[in-house]
Amino acid sequence: MSSYNFASQKVLITGGLGFIGSNIAQKFVKLGAQVTIYDMLDPKSGGNIHNISGIEGSVQVLKQDIRNFESVCTAISGQDIIFHCAAYTSHPNSMKDPLMDIEVNCKGTINVLEAARRFNPDVKFIHIGTSTQIGKMHYQPIDELHPEFPVDIYSANKSVSEKYVSIYGHAYRMKTAVVRFANVFGPRSNIRSPDFGFMNYFIGLALQDKDLTVFGEGKQQRNVSYIDDCVDALVAVSQSERSWGQVFFAASDEQCTVAEIAEAITREIGGRVRYVDWPSDRQVIEIGDSVVTNQKIKSFVDWKPQWDLARGLKEAGLYFRPNLKRYLG
Ligand SMILES: NC(=O)c1ccc[n+]([C@@H]2O[C@H](COP(=O)([O-])OP(=O)(O)OC[C@H]3O[C@@H](n4cnc5c(N)ncnc54)[C@H](O)[C@@H]3O)[C@@H](O)[C@H]2O)c1
């Protein structure tokens, strides 16, 4: 990956206390940017104040809500790049509280876009999408042209919100890009709750030497993406003029079954795998195999994944072990 100079750049990260946003913040502080985090630390999200440990003195933190249009407008002025990571991020919670999901994921995204259009139309706007927008796979591997039939409210609203981003890019000639991720794991994730994806939760169980319960036989194929690869993809997208107006899948080269992922976690970190019957509320939002290609992003920007599953898991273990109280307490 090329070396970039962000010394005079102002970067705004909505959801910057969450898993992905805080890793972006850590990276951009290292790259010399002036980083502002915009995050109300929603207790139902994966946000954690300890995620900015080590950089607290170098970032400005605005404890504000993206549903508040006025405060979004104030935060957006003068920024060079926005990474829009704030979201209502739990699939099960979105089924329990669909209106809240619309408020944050749809209206919240419109607020950030509209604030940018009115007060900072030249900003580079990078939105995070998710592979779960696709729903059940109709052909393999899934690319950016694959139709979207999401099976839960979160994924449906993520699909809608990324369309807003593309519309603003097209209609107002704003510099927008969407980067979709799949099963991101690693340091600063929520390892406490099963509501934010199984993989980081399994890492948390393994760190406590508990059972990792796999539903059914765990034969569904998944891409697994180490967080540093995802952050590097976002850096690369933000620096290429070819990114604007595009949607990318920034997924790993590697695919594994859920059972293989669980077994790898027990090998690298701890715990043991136990296979149980599917709970009915999980089975209805299960999509089966999901295999994504990263060919498009590789051909547009200077990026390719560097981390494999075993190395990423080792690194996650090293990060979390001395910090367990902060993430499980
Ligand atoms: N983690 C993954 O595997 C994954 C995969 C694909 C896409 N994504 C997307 O990446 C983005 C970040 O996800 P994450 O895993 O870091 O989630 P996260 O839950 O760890 O972080 C989300 C952050 O948004 C903040 N937030 C929530 N509502 C807010 C509001 N109304 N105003 C201001 N801040 C608010 C939360 O406090 C939290 O810190 C999301 O858009 C998500 O859809 C994540």
The pLDDT tens digits for 55-65 are 999 999 999 99
How many residues are recorded in the chain?
A: 329
**Residue span of the structural domain in which 309 resides:** 10-328
The total number of structural domains in the chain stands at 1
Give the mean model confidence (pLDDT) for residues 283-296.
Answer: 88
Mean pLDDT score of the chain:
96
Q: Which of 13, 42, 185 to mutate to test the pocket of ligand 1 (most atoms within 8 A of CB)?
A: 42
Ligand 1 mean position, distance from CA 231 (Å): 14
Confidence of residue 218 (pLDDT cuts 50, 70, 90): very high
The answer, yes or no, to whether residue 210 has pLDDT greater than 70, is: yes
Residue 5 lies in a domain: no
Give the mean model confidence (pLDDT) for residues 5-31.
Answer: 96
Residue 224 lies in a domain: yes
The answer, yes or no, to whether residue 328 has pLDDT greater than 90, is: yes
Taking residue 19's Cβ as centre, other Cβ atoms within 10 Å add up to 27
pLDDT of residue 2: 59
Give the mean model confidence (pLDDT) for residues 259-274.
Answer: 98
In the chain, count H helices and then E strands: 13, 13
Pocket of ligand 1 (CB under 6 A): 15, 17-21, 39-42, 45-47, 65-67, 85-89, 104, 108, 128, 130, 158, 181, 183-184, 190, 197
Closest residue to atom 19 of ligand 1, CA basis: 46
Residue 12's nearest CA partner among 82, 88, 105 is 82
14 φ, ψ to 5°?
-75, 145
Closest residue to atom 37 of ligand 1, CA basis: 41
Residue 229 lies in a domain: yes
Give the mean model confidence (pLDDT) for residues 319-327.
Answer: 97
Closest residue to atom 30 of ligand 1, CA basis: 65
Residue 294 lies in a domain: yes
pLDDT of residue 140: 94
pLDDT of residue 329: 82
> How far is it, in rounded angstroms, from Cα 273 to Cα 214?
7
The pLDDT tens digits for 99-141 are 999 999 999 999 999 999 999 999 999 999 999 999 999 999 9
Confidence of residue 284 (pLDDT cuts 50, 70, 90): confident
The pLDDT tens digits for 66-92 are 999 999 999 999 999 999 999 999 999
Give the mean model confidence (pLDDT) for residues 291-302.
Answer: 97
Residue 294: which CATH number? 3.40.50.720
Residue 3 lies in a domain: no
pLDDT of residue 5: 81
pLDDT of residue 1: 54
Q: Using the atom order of ligand 1, give the atom closest to the CA of residue 90.
A: 19
Residue 78 lies in a domain: yes
Residue 51 lies in a domain: yes
Residue 79 lies in a domain: yes
Strands 34-38 and 10-14: parallel
